[in-house]
C-alpha cells in the first residue's frame, strides 16, 4: 500500500491510496479457500469444488466482498500512517479497480482541527448551595396534602357548591326518546371542572342528596352517536351523594400513603426534592460559566463541513423563510457549538475520559424509575433506536468532562436562601430572553440594511435555565 497526501484546502485533505493487484489476489485466494469447504454444488463432494468453478459462479460477489474489506482496512491504515484524525466520516472515490487490476482510490477527509487546551486550574466558576428553611418544606407538604382528593359525605341538608363531588344516576332522552348510552349509574362530577358536558355542572349547583334534578345540555361533537351531535338532551338526575373536600391530616399515615416511612422521612424526601430542583437549575448556570471560559481556548479553524452539518441540525423542521430569517444567528450558534464540542472532546481524550456501557444502562434504569409501568416501553425505545442510545452516551460523556473540569477548576461556594435562588434564576432567564430578543432584532436590522453593508452586532444566545 502506498499513500500520498494532497492538501486540498485547510483541514480538507485528499489521500491517494494505491494497493497492488498481488495483495488483492492473495486476499481473493484466502476467500476462495474459505468458500471451498462451504460451497455445495451438484456432482462435487464437499471441499472438492474446483476453484475456477467457484470463481465463475461467485467471482463478482467475492471480489466485491474482498475489495470492501481491503478499502476499510487500508483507509484506516492510511489515516493512521499520515496521523490524520477525521472530523467526519471520510468519503471514498474509486479511481481504478477490477479483477486483475491494481486498486487506486482517493480518501476525501476533513481533519480534526488542533485545539490548544489551557490549564484547567485557571478556570473559575461559582457553585450555589441553597439553604431551605423548615418552613419551606412544611409549606410544600401542605400543598401536596391540599392537592390530594379527599372527599367526605355531608349532611343531606347541605347543598352542593363549586369544588364539591356530586354522585348521581341519570336517564337521558333526545326528542323524548332514549338512545345508546342514555343511562348512567354513580356518575361522579367535581363541580366547577365542567368535564362532562359543557354547562352540565352549573345545573347541579345547590343540589341535595336524594333530590331529582332536570338538566338540559347540548350533546358535543365528540359524542359517539353522530346523528345526535348538537341536539339538546334532557337528563333526569337522581343525586346519590354530595361530598366536600376535606384536607388530609399531615401525619405518619399521610406520609405512608405517599411512599415514605413516616412524616419525618417525608419531610427529608421533600426537602431533598426541593434542593434538587434548585440545584439542577443553578448547576446549569455554573456549567454555562465553565463553557464561557473554555470558549476562550484556541482552535485552528472550524471546518466548513462541520458547520454545514451543524446548520442542518439547527434548521431541522424550519421552512425556507425561517431558515433565511435565522441564518446569521444560526451560523454563529453552529460555530459556537462546534467549537465547544471540539474543546470538550479534546479535554476528554487527553484525560482518557470514557463512557462505559454500565453507565448507559444505569442512566436508562434511572429513566425507567421515573416512568413506572412503562419499563418495557423505555427499554424497547433504546433497543430500537441506536441514535437515542448514542445521544445518551454523548450526554453522559459531556457531563463527565464537565465534572472533570470542575475537579481542576477554582470553585467558590456561595450559600443562598430560597429568595436569592429565585432572584438568580429570574435574572438568568431575563438575560436569556434579552439575548434571544437581541438576536431577533439583529436579524430584522440585517434584512432592512442589505443595501448598506454594516458590521453585524454580536449576538449571544445562551441556554435557558428552567425555573422549577
Kindly state whether residues 224 and 287 are assigned to the same domain: no
Whether residue 28 sits in one domain with residue 93: yes
Q: Is 360 helix (H, G, I), strand (E, B) or coil?
A: helix
Please indicate, yes or no, if residue 250 is contained in any of the structural domains: no
343 found inside a domain: yes
Structural domain containing residue 267:
263-448
Q: 36 and 157 share a domain? A: no
Q: Are residues 307 and 404 in the same domain?
A: yes
Degrees (nearest 5) of the Cα angle 58, 63, 65?
A: 100
Q: How confident is the model at residue 468, as a pLDDT? A: 37
Question: Among residues of the chain, what percentage have pLDDT more than 90?
Answer: 44
pTM of the entire predicted model: 0.63
Q: What is the DSSP string of 25-53?
A: HHHHHHHHHHHHTT---TTS-TT---HHH
Residue pLDDT, tens place only, 186-228: 999 999 888 889 999 999 999 999 999 999 999 998 888 899 9
Of 34-48, 367-381, 382-396, the range with the lowest mean pLDDT is 34-48
Does residue 29 lie in a domain region?
yes
376-390 pLDDT, tens per residue? 888 888 888 888 888
SS3 track for 281-347? HHHHHHHHHHHHHHCCCEECCCCHHHHHHHHHHHCCCCCHHHHHHCHHHHHHHHHHHHHHHHHHHHH
Cβ–Cβ < 8 Å for 112, 87: yes
Segment 238-290, tens digit of pLDDT: 999 999 988 888 899 888 988 889 999 999 999 888 888 888 899 999 999 99
- The verdict on residue 436 lying in a domain is yes
Do 336 and 212 fall into the same domain?
no
434, pLDDT greater than 80: no
- CA distances (Å), origin 326, targets 255, 336, 359, 436: 51, 15, 37, 11
Confidence of residue 46 (pLDDT cuts 50, 70, 90): low
Q: What is the domain-level CATH number for residue 88?
A: 3.30.70.1050
What's the CATH number where 365 sits? 1.10.3120.10
Domain contains 136: no
Same domain, 221 and 268: no
pLDDT at residue 53, as a whole number: 75
> Are 312 and 404 in a shared domain?
yes
Residue 303 shares a structural domain with residue 416: yes
* Whether residue 416 sits in one domain with residue 267: yes
Task: Classify residue 235 by burial, with Cβ atoms within 10 Å: 0-12, 13-18, 19+.
Answer: buried
For the chain, the domain total comes to 3
Residues 224 and 275 grouped into a single domain? no
Measuring CA to CA, which residue among 326, 335, 342, 332 is closest to residue 304? 335
pLDDT at 467 exceeding the cut of 50? no
CA distances from 45 to 17, 19, 41, 42, 53 (A): 41, 36, 8, 8, 13
Question: Is residue 349, in this structure, part of any structural domain at all?
Answer: yes
Amino acid at each position: 500500500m502506498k499513500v500520498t497526501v494532497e492538501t486540498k484546502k485547510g483541514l480538507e485533505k485528499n489521500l491517494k491510496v494505491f494497493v497492488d493487484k498481488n495483495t488483492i489476489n492473495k486476499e481473493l485466494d484466502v476467500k476462495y479457500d474459505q468458500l471451498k469447504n462451504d460451497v455445495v454444488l451438484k456432482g462435487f463432494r464437499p471441499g472438492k469444488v474446483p476453484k475456477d468453478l467457484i470463481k465463475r459462479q461467485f467471482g463478482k460477489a467475492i471480489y466485491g466482498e474482498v475489495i470492501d474489506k481491503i478499502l476499510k482496512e487500508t483507509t484506516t491504515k492510511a489515516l493512521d500512517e499520515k496521523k490524520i484524525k477525521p472530523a467526519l466520516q471520510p468519503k471514498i472515490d474509486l479511481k481504478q479497480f477490477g479483477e486483475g487490476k491494481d486498486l487506486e482510490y482517493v480518501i476525501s477527509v476533513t481533519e480534526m482541527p488542533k485545539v490548544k487546551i489551557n490549564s484547567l486550574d485557571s478556570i473559575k466558576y461559582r457553585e450555589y448551595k441553597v439553604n431551605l428553611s423548615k418552613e419551606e418544606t412544611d409549606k410544600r407538604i401542605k400543598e401536596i396534602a391540599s392537592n390530594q382528593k379527599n372527599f367526605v359525605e355531608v349532611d343531606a341538608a347541605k347543598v352542593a357548591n363549586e369544588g364539591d363531588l356530586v354522585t348521581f344516576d341519570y336517564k337521558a332522552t333526545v326528542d323524548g326518546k332514549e338512545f345508546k348510552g342514555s343511562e348512567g349509574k354513580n356518575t361522579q362530577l367535581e363541580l366547577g371542572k365542567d368535564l362532562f358536558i359543557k354547562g352540565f355542572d352549573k345545573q347541579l349547583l345547590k343540589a341535595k342528596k336524594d333530590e331529582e334534578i332536570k338538566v338540559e345540555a347540548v350533546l358535543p361533537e365528540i359524542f359517539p352517536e353522530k346523528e345526535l351531535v348538537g341536539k339538546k338532551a334532557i337528563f333526569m338526575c337522581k343525586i346519590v351523594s354530595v361530598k366536600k373536600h376535606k384536607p388530609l391530616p399531615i401525619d405518619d399515615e399521610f406520609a405512608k400513603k405517599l411512599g415514605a416511612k413516616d412524616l419525618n422521612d417525608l419531610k427529608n424526601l421533600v426537602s431533598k426534592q426541593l434542593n434538587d430542583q434548585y440545584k439542577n437549575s443553578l448547576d446549569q448556570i455554573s456549567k454555562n460559566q465553565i463553557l464561557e471560559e473554555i470558549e476562550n481556548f484556541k482552535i485552528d479553524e472550524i471546518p466548513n463541513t462541520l458547520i454545514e452539518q451543524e446548520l442542518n441540525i439547527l434548521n431541522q423542521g424550519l421552512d425556507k423563510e425561517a431558515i433565511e430569517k435565522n441564518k446569521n444567528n444560526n451560523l454563529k450558534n453552529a460555530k459556537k457549538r462546534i467549537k465547544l464540542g471540539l474543546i470538550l472532546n479534546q479535554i476528554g481524550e487527553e484525560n482518557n475520559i470514557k463512557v462505559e456501557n454500565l453507565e448507559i444502562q444505569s442512566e436508562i434504569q434511572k429513566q425507567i424509575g421515573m416512568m413506572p409501568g412503562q419499563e418495557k416501553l423505555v427499554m424497547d425505545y433504546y433497543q430500537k433506536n441506536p441514535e437515542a442510545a448514542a445521544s445518551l452516551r454523548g450526554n453522559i460523556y459531556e457531563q463527565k468532562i464537565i465534572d472533570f473540569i470542575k475537579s481542576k477548576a477554582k470553585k467558590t461556594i456561595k450559600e443562598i436562601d430560597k429568595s436569592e435562588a429565585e432572584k438568580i434564576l429570574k435574572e438568568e432567564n431575563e438575560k436569556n430572553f434579552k439575548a434571544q430578543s437581541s438576536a431577533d432584532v439583529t436579524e430584522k436590522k440585517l434584512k432592512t440594511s442589505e443595501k448598506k453593508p454594516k458590521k453585524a452586532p454580536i449576538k449571544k444566545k445562551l441556554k435557558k435555565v428552567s425555573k422549577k
